Each structure stands twice: as structure tokens, then as C-alpha cells.
Structure 1
């Protein structure tokens, strides 16, 4: 028994000694690893300007004070990440969605939108076979049903009166001049008179003044092309008749969908009017010419409409089975609103921190578009969170901070990297920052630049109202700005890249200006002016206005995150604080 007690005591002593020598060593090692990890992620900030965040110690680029280590939990962003405030997120209505696999039954299908049209192959035009005046029109309205052989109209035809007289005369010379007799009868036949009508005229010896026109087909009157009392020429249409027992469904397919379509292919069609009813159809025609404006081709199918439930003009949706190869690629889908398209690149903004509004631009490869959803072939992973509303606002914020963006593929200095002291009354000129220099200038028509210059002029009026702390004048200026934006002629933008970029800017500018025009609270107006300025700076840098303008920055605006605005001159007149801090800010760049 004593021997076992000795063994247990020796084992206990061994465990204690092992912990002393190796446990503390392991803790020390773990501590060293933690310290190294903390050192690796350590960021440096300014006590006066907490929006400054740099990976190395140094001086604050705004006030020149020594940077201090950021507290644990302070924002340490990657090179091309941006962070937005909760207030900015709310103002811009930025929304995100977690992306993932397409739903089971739909991942294999492609959706096309279109509408029902009359089958042109079954259309017929009822024309007048002779010149004359319509004495009686038996078709009263568009949409009326007519049957083959039905009396459509009665016409007084002077030429037919003369031809009948010739027939009566030729009948008396039938035996001596049979050729003349036959020629007169054939003349009446060419005017669509029947054998019985001609025989009746010949037998009675009486001239008939009014002649009937009968329907040659059955169908629905789709258009009245003449009225009672009208004088019509030979061959002139009177009514257009459509046979709606079959109808066409016309769809628009985008370029990236064409490869999935071929003539003879079976598709399933649904309508808004009968959501629970499906119609089987076959692709009968694919337009060989692409519409360069909409970048689509027309796809036609023919539908059986014996029940007369499909009406021309109805909106319909087609489901097309995708080939296995493309279906395998279409694993992840995103709403179309999430994608920024520059012509050569397709971009989305990914939320990199699930608990904070931190975003990063990501290039993606698009597959087919199914309705309002894009299939993503490459660039996103299951479970990632992307911006689906307000994408362009996030891009504008990235661009102004010198991060990679839609128009700035290289990135550059962040806005926190401007040189020079900024304070009350400081108007020191600062060289154009890298993110302005790298912004891509698009070639546009001089007339478009003139229209954009008009928008800039209205913006300056609005800015002056904020400088003067006049909320009512700011509302009027915002309304004038909206009018100027609405008058822009987008047809002047021939380049697809420029056209798409302006369409996105147009939406954001209107939203910001509308928000300003609907409130008399100058604080809220200035909050929306942050976004308005960001997008207008984007527009002026991208398209130009044939005028030098200055980009100016206030580090204390926007809840100490800083905000920009445009000015015609170097003098600082701060629209974010007005008389309270009129000359607070600096010139950060020039746009020629």
C-alpha cells in the first residue's frame, strides 16, 4: 500500500513540474503570437480627427499632430475597404442581401419577358375593289367579330354603273360579238362581282347603283380604316381583320441569353391574367438583327388561342430550359440592382464585415439574366453579403476616398491622406489627389457637357443657399436642380459606357435633390447635400463641363467623417456649417 502511495506522489510532482516548465512556456508562446497578431493589425489614428486611420505611425495629414495607436475595436480597414456611417446608410437607403445558390427548380431555367401580339400571318385587310363612296358601313367598332361572307359595306361606284350599262349593251350583241360580251363580263369579275350578280344584271336589264362588299375571312376587327360617307379609291383598306385563334408571344432576349435559344425549342409561357395556367409554345422565329439601343433580339412563339383568353397587349413571361453546361455555372444569383456595369467590367460591392458597414468592390463574371436576377459565374462565394440597393452611392464614397471604384480601377490615396494643415480660414492650395488624377474621363458631346454645366450652375445656387443658412432658398434651388437634371438628353451619350454611367448618376442625383426639396430642416438638407456633392463630383470628373472647378473638403462635416463639395473658386465658403464655420475647409483638388 505504501508503494502505491509513493507512485501517486511521484506522478503528482511530475505533473506540477511539467506545468511549471512547459505550461508557462506555452502561454508565453501564445502571448507572443497574440502580441504579434495585434502588432500586425495595429492601426494609428488622430485624437482630434478619428476618421484618420493609417497602418503606420506618423503625423496627422489634417492637423499635423502625432498619430496615436487606435484603441482595440477601432476601425482597421484593408487597402480598398471603405466604411460608412449608420446615418449615411440610412440616408442613402443602402440595403444588402446574402447571396447563394439559385432555388432548386429555377436554377435550370432562364426567364424572358414579353407580350402578346396578333398573329400577322392570320391578319387580313378588307379593301374596296372599286372606286366609290361608302353609303353604308356595317362594322360599328374595333373588336367586333365578323364572319366570312358577312356584308361589310355598301358602296356607290360610278364606274360600276357605266360597266353595267356596257354589259346590258353587250348582251344584245352576244351572238354577233361574243368576244366583246366576254370581255365586259370579265371586267365585272375583276371587281369581285359574282356570277350570280352579273347574271342578275344581264337578266333584269337594270343598272344597280350600290354594290356590297363581303368579308373574305372570319376574325376580329382590329382597325377601322374608313367611315361612312368616305370616298375610297380602288384597293383602299376599309377594315383590318385579325384571326385571334392563334397569337404571337414576342419576347426580348439579351445578348448573353441568345446562346440558349434556337428555333423549334419548347418553352412554357405564363401570364399575369392567368398566373396558375401555363401555355406550351415553340420558338418559331429569332430576329437575325440585334436592336442596338436595347441590346436585345426579338424571339417569337405562336400560341393556340382557341379559348380566346390571350389578348394582344398582355404581358407574358417565358421559362426556357438552360443547357446543362450553363446551368452548372449559374450557381449564385444576385439582384440586377447589385451590379454596376462599365461596359468592360461588372462590379458588385461586398460587405466584408458582417457586423459593421464595411464594403469592398469586387469584379464578377455575369452569366445569363433571368428577369431581375443575374447568374454569377465567378467572383462571389456562397453566403457573401452584397449591396443590392444604393450600390452607386457606395461606389461614389469609394471613389472620393481614393479606393478602387467603378471609374477608378487603380485606387489611390485616401481622402485622409491629403497634405497640408486644414483649419479655420486655411485655403492653402493642395495638388490634385491621386484619386482625381486616376478617374477615367469619358468622351462626350459638347452639348451634353453644356447641359451638365447647367446642372452645376443650379448646384452652386443651392450651395449658396446652404452657405447663407437659408433652408427655403435651398428647397427652391433643389427643385431647379431637379428640373435641370430632367432636361438632360441622354441620346447625346453615344458610348454605352458613358450612357450607363450617367443613368446611374441621374438616379442618385435626383434622389438626393428630391430629399433636399422636401424638407425645411437645414440640418437634413446638409446631410443630403453630402451625397448630392459626391455624385456631382463624380459626374464632373467623368464627363467634364469645360470649366475649371475646385473640389473642397471639410473634415468636421458629416459627423467628423468629412465631406466634399464643388466650388467655382478657391475661396472657402462652407455649405455644411454656414455662418457657424464659414471658412473651415481646404481645396483638395482641381478639375479642368
Structure 2
């Protein structure tokens, strides 16, 4: 009897243990299910947005469809609604969809319409002051010889017309003087032609008429002959200036040094390379004398504006370092038919008088080239985004609050206004400040203009 009782107690204990284990297992499953449901609910309520475009709202991680930045989780965000699962749309025909890369959502943006008017336009072109190559005189040795004495000692030393530059001794020149003196001593009437030829040869070798008469009066050859400056200006060595017979663009690519160039203080006081006692060859350039009473303003006109620039058009030149000074008025003298190096510009040449040397070589200028009044659609210059080879504006889509980047072709400019030649009509609405919508030019993909 006691054995059966013990067996009954053992069986009951076993069933109790099994029941407790089953209850624990069921409770753990319920807790896990509740945790999974809570996690799912939390994930469903997470909202992700773009730091640069807060109007972009998603319920899962990803990238911003506008700028491509990674979406970040919005702290304390409410459950995402169907309308906030995509870009918000406020127009009557808008739907909750992801905008294409060339669209923007209209939000706190001022819209304007192009204005049809006839504006007096102008082109602005940068430039620099350069020498007038027509006023550069080369002082070359007409005969071989030795420099006996120099009367100029440094670059950019001012000289006057007729001022002595150097004395040179030449055996060739001494021989020609002796021939002239021999013909004078013979007193043969038949030698008159030879006498005139001898005088002419000395003139061609560089002697002046006064120097030839002095030789005849002294009846002895002059060993050292003086060379004088033919013009007034500044003395330079040939190596200090590019070859004026080269390409026109060489003066911009390698401008001649001047008082405003870098290191000009050293150049002006640097000794000349030519020395007393140095021999020179026939035809060798010894000096150059540059007259700056007239200079050039070489302006860089963009290739897109070249068609509007013609010879004789009025231009106003303003010195960049003297913005308050009255502009200098001149006209376009020449439009060079080549592009200036690698830049997509054409050089326009303007002749400027420079009495007293007020304009310095290398001085930067800004020119305003006046154009005839241009009729058409005009918009603020801030409404146009420059993309290098293209220009775009942000136009509002028909019956929508979305903005579409469309390409345009611009024309003349007048102050803060720019003419739109192609891409818009008078009924279009565009943003007044397109730069406000641009975070990166890489995402702008202009679409073809569609008539509304």
C-alpha cells in the first residue's frame, strides 16, 4: 500500500514539472512575439529625411532623389503617412511620387515671368594694357664693332629723341671714312659720282648728315661713332620683350614687363646685359626704345559675344585699380580673327592715348562695349544658372507646383538683366533666384523645352 502511494506522488511530481516547463516555453514565445511586433511597429514608425531637402520624407533608409545624400533618421518622428512617404505635392495634379533628378519642389520660392522689352545692352570684357608694337624702335648695329661707351645703364631708363645711346668703334666704318677723305683729296671732277656714293654709304651705315660733314671738315676719320635714339621713350633690351612679329596672342601669353609687372622694381634698376667693350655683330639688336604715348587695351571677348562686337563700336575702359576714376572712351579698332590661346575668347584691340604715361603696361581694365537696343524676353541674371557649356532656368510645370530645369540660350546683357533668346515664352513662370535651388550642378539634367 505504501508503495502505490509513493508511485502516485512521483507521477504527480513529474506531471507538475512538465506543466511548469510547458508554461515557461509558452511565455517565452509570447514575449518574443511581442518584442518582434514592437520592433516591427518601431521600424514602421521610423521616418527618414534628407538633411539638405527636409521635404523629402521616406519610411526606409536610402538616398535623396534630389541631391543624392544618404537619408538620416528623423528623431521623434510620427508614423509615416502615405502622403509623407514621398515628396510632398501641393498642386491639384500632383501625386505622392519621387521627383526626377531634374525637378525641384516649389517651396518658399519666388516666381517671376519674363518681361518683353527692348533694352540697351552692353558686353563686359576684361583686358589689360599692353605696348603698341608700332611704337617700338629697334636699335640694331649696322656694322660690326666694339661698344666703347654706354650712355644708358638700366632697363626702362627714359630717353629723348636725339639723345646719345652709345659710342661704337668699327674698323669697317673707319675704312669707309678714309675712302671719302681720299676722294676729297683727289679733287677730280670725274669723282663727283663716287664722292656722292661714298657719302651715301656712310649715311646707310648709320652716320647722320652732320657726322659726315664733320668728317669732311676735320679731314680725318672719326674712330668712335655715336648712336642716337630715333624716338622718345624707354630703353629696353631685346630679351625683355617678345618678338613683335610673332602671333598676336603672344603679348597676352607672355606680356612685356613693365612698371606694373611683378618684380618691376628690380627690373627697372637691373643693369643692362650689354657692357662697354663688348663686340656686336652686324644686324644685332642692341636696344629697343618703346614710346608709350599711345598704348593698346587688349580685351577678351567671349566667343558667344563675338557676333555682337564690330569694329568702330563705342567702348568705355575702366581701370580696375581706379574704379572711381571716369572711364576712358574709345572705339573697337580691331577684332583679332583667332582665339586667344586655350581660352574661348577673342581679343578686341582698342587704341588709347597715353600722355604723360598715366596708363601702365600690364594694368588690368574692364571694358563695357555698348550694343544696339535688343528686343526680346528679359529675366534677372540670377534666374539663370551657368553650367559651363549650358545655361538653365527653373520653370514651373503647367498646373503643378514642381519646378523643371530647362535649357535656355541667352543673348545680350543690360545691368542685372539678361536676354533669353530661346527656351522660354512670356507665359512661363521661373524662379527669380535659381542659385537658391542648386546644391550641386551634377544633378541638373535639363530637359527639352515643351510648349505649355
TM-score (norm 1): 0.47
Give the superposition deviation at 1:293.
Answer: 3.4
Equivalent position of 1:394 in the other structure: 440
1:299 to 348, 352, 365: 348
> Retained in 2: the 8 A contact 1:267–1:283?
yes
> Retained in 1: the 8 A contact 2:381–2:416?
no
Greater RCO (CA < 8 Å, at least 6 residues apart): 2
Report the 3-state secondary structure (helix = DSSP H, G, I; strand = E; otherwise coil) of the residue aligned with 2:337. coil
> Retained in 1: the 8 A contact 2:57–2:85?
no
Give the superposition deviation at 1:132.
Answer: 1.1
For the pair 1:265 / 2:313, whether they are aligned, the reply is: yes
Q: Deviations over 1:334-392 (max 9, x none)?
A: 388x31244xx53356799xxx9x9743222222468999654454667615553895x
Q: Deviations over 1:138-163 (max 9, x none)?
A: 22222222111100111111111222
2:406 to 362, 387, 395: 362
Pair member with larger Rg: 2
1:347 to 362, 386, 392: 392
Give the superposition deviation at 1:111.
Answer: 0.9
Equivalent position of 1:152 in the other structure: 165
Equivalent position of 1:230 in the other structure: 278
Q: 1:266 to 1:239 in 2, by over 3 A?
A: same
Question: Mind listing any 5+ residue stretches in structure 2 that lack a counterpart?
Answer: 1-54, 66-79, 89-95, 240-272
2-side partners of 1:178 and 1:234: how far apart?
29
1-side partners of 2:223 and 2:285: how far apart?
21
> Retained in 2: the 8 A contact 1:365–1:377?
yes
2:138 to 90, 111, 125: 125
2-side partners of 1:98 and 1:151: how far apart?
72
2-side partners of 1:178 and 1:291: how far apart?
57
Give the superposition deviation at 1:69.
Answer: 1.7
1:351-430 to structure 2, matched below 5 A, reads 360-368=404-412, 375-379=419-423, 384-388=431-435, 391=438, 394-397=440-443, 405=445
Equivalent position of 1:244 in the other structure: 292
2-side partners of 1:52 and 1:382: how far apart?
26
For the pair 1:317 / 2:389, whether they are aligned, the reply is: no
For the pair 1:180 / 2:194, whether they are aligned, the reply is: yes
> Retained in 1: the 8 A contact 2:382–2:434?
no
1:268-287 to structure 2, matched below 5 A, reads 268-276=316-324, 277-287=326-336
Q: 1:299 to 1:185 in 2, by over 3 A?
A: same
1-side partners of 2:437 and 2:200: how far apart?
75
2-side partners of 1:78 and 1:157: how far apart?
89
> Retained in 2: the 8 A contact 1:170–1:181?
yes
Q: Deviations over 1:404-456 (max 9, x none)?
A: x26x989xxxxxxxxxxxxxxxxxxxxxxxxxxxxxxxxxxxxxxxxxxxxxx
Q: 1:221 to 1:73 in 2, by over 3 A?
A: same
Report the 3-state secondary structure (helix = DSSP H, G, I; strand = E; otherwise coil) of the residue aligned with 1:203. helix
1-side partners of 2:58 and 2:161: how far apart?
89
> Retained in 1: the 8 A contact 2:410–2:420?
yes
Q: 1:324 to 1:136 in 2, by over 3 A?
A: same
Q: Deviations over 1:187-223 (max 9, x none)?
A: 2121122333223223333332211001111122344
Q: 1:141 to 1:382 in 2, by over 3 A?
A: farther
Mean CA deviation greater in 71-80 or 252-261 = 71-80
Equivalent position of 1:473 in the other structure: none
Higher helix share: 1
Report the 3-state secondary structure (helix = DSSP H, G, I; strand = E; otherwise coil) of the residue aligned with 2:177. helix
Q: Please provide the CA RMSD for this pair.
A: 4.2
TM-score (norm 2): 0.61
Q: How many residues align?
A: 328
Report the 3-state secondary structure (helix = DSSP H, G, I; strand = E; otherwise coil) of the residue aligned with 2:155. coil
> Retained in 2: the 8 A contact 1:170–1:180?
yes
Report the 3-state secondary structure (helix = DSSP H, G, I; strand = E; otherwise coil) of the residue aligned with 1:155. strand
Give the superposition deviation at 1:256.
Answer: 2.4
